[in-house]
Amino acid sequence: MDTLIFALNAILPIILLIFFGYFLKRKNFLDEAWFKKGNKLIFRVCLPFLLFTNVYNIESFTAINWSVVIYSEIAIFTVFFLGMLLVKLTIPDDRQKGVVLQCTFRSNFAIIGLTLAESLGGPEGVGIAAILSAFSIPTFNILAVIALTMFNKGENGQRIDFKNVLKKIATNPLIIGVVCGLAALGIRALLPAGADGTPVFSLSGNLPFLYTAISNVAKISSPLALIILGGLFDFSAVKGMLKQILIGTLSRVVAVPGLVLGIAVLLSKYTTILNFDATVYPALIALFGSPVAVASAIMAQEMDNDGTLAGQLVVWTSILSIFTLFFFILILRGLGLL
C-alpha cells in the first residue's frame, strides 16, 4: 500500500496540472493563442533554464559511477534503434513516426526524475540521478531532434538532410541549456577552492541575484509546461490515433523499463559485468520508468510533427505509469534492490 501511495503522490500532481490546463481552456479563461505562445516560452526559455540549474547544481564529477552512466547511455541508444524499427513497421504516417519513436526512449527525467529518485533512494539516489541527468538529457534531446527530423519531409517533399539535423541539434534550446550548465560547472571546478574547500566563485554565492532569477524561471517551467499541455489537449483526438497511443504508451512505460531494469538485474546478480546495488536502481527507475517528457510534446509541435499525438502520449503515459511504476518498484523491493 505504501508503494502505491508513493506512486500516486509522484504522478497525480502531473495529471492534475494537465487537467487544470484543460479546465482553463474549456472555460475560455485562456484561449488557444495564449497556450501556443506559452508553448514557445516553455520550450525556448523556461525549460533551458531548468536544465541549466539541474546541471549546475551537481556538486562534483569526481565520484561518478561510470558503469551506471555507460549502461544508461547504451540502453538509451539501444532503445532508440529498437524504437526506430518499431515505428517503421507499425506507424504509416511520417509526421507520427518521430513522435512515437521519441516516446519510446525519452522519459520525463528532467521534471520528475530527480524527485522520484530522491523519494526512492534518498540523498544517494538523487546524487546518482543528478549525474545521469548531465549525460542523459543531452542524449535525449539530440536523439529527439534526430527522431523528429529523420521521418519528416521538407517543403520540397525530400527528407531533411544531415546538415539541417546538425543545425537543429546545435540550436535546440534544451541542449543549449545543458551545455551552458556544463560550461558553468566546468568553470567553477577549474577555479581554486577556498580554505574550507568551497569554490571561490559560484553563481549562488557571488551573484545571488542572478542565480535566484534563473532559479525562479526554472521553478515555473514544470507546472507551467503541464498546464499548457492540458490546454492543448484534445480528448476527441484519441479515437483517431488509438493504435499510435497504445504503441507509444506501452513501449514507454512497460517494455522499456522492463527490458532495461531486467537486464540490469540479471547482469548484476549472475555476472561480473555489472555490480549495481540498491543505491543505483532508484535512478534507473526514474530514468527509464518515468512517462514521456513533457518537453516532447512541445518540441514535436515546434518541429512540425504531430503535436496532438505527442500531447496524448504525455497524458496517457503519465496515467499508466502510476500502475507500472508501482509494479516495478514492488518487484525491485521484493528483490531487495530498493
Backbone angles phi, psi at 199, to 5 degrees: -60, 145
Per-residue pLDDT, averaged over 105-114, amounts to 79
Give how many domains the chain has, as a whole number.
1
pLDDT band of 103, cuts 50, 70, 90: very high
Q: Which residue has the higher pLDDT, 142 or 116?
A: 142
Contact residues for 319 (Cβ-Cβ < 8 A; gap 6+): 11, 15
Q: Which residues contact 75 (CB under 8 A, 6 or more apart)?
A: 260, 263, 288
Lowest mean pLDDT among 80-84, 85-89, 282-286: 282-286
Range of the domain at 60: 2-334
- Once rounded to an integer, what is the mean pLDDT over residues 226-241? 76
- For residue 228, the model assigns a pLDDT of 83
Q: Whose CA is closest to 316, among 254, 261, 260, 225?
A: 254
Q: Using one digit for the tens of pLDDT, what is the confidence trace for 57-82?
A: 776 666 678 899 999 999 999 999 99
User: Nearest to residue 276, comparing CAs of 100, 75, 112?
Assistant: 75
Q: What is the mean pLDDT of the segment spanning 198-207?
A: 71
The answer to which of 10-19, 97-106, 155-164, 184-193 has the lowest mean pLDDT is 155-164
- Torsion angle, CA of 263/116/23/311, rounded to 10 degrees? -30
Residue 157: pLDDT above 60? no
Identity at 154, one-letter amino acid code? G
Spell out where 169-280 has E strands.
none
CA dihedral 117, 119, 120, 121 (to 10 degrees): 70
Cell of 24: 482553463
What is the 8-class DSSP label of residue 292? Answer: B
Which of 32-46, 219-233, 253-267, 273-287 has the largest mean confidence?
253-267
Q: What is the pLDDT of residue 160?
A: 59
pLDDT at 85: 95
Single-letter amino acid, residue 145: V
Confidence of residue 159 (pLDDT cuts 50, 70, 90): low
| C-alpha span between 186 and 31 (Å, rounded) | 43
Q: What pTM was computed for the model? A: 0.79
Q: What gap in Å lies between CA 193 and CA 64, rounded to an integer?
A: 20
Residue at 199: amino acid letter: P
Q: Give me the CATH number covering residue 285.
A: 1.20.1530.20
Indicate the average pLDDT of the chain: 83
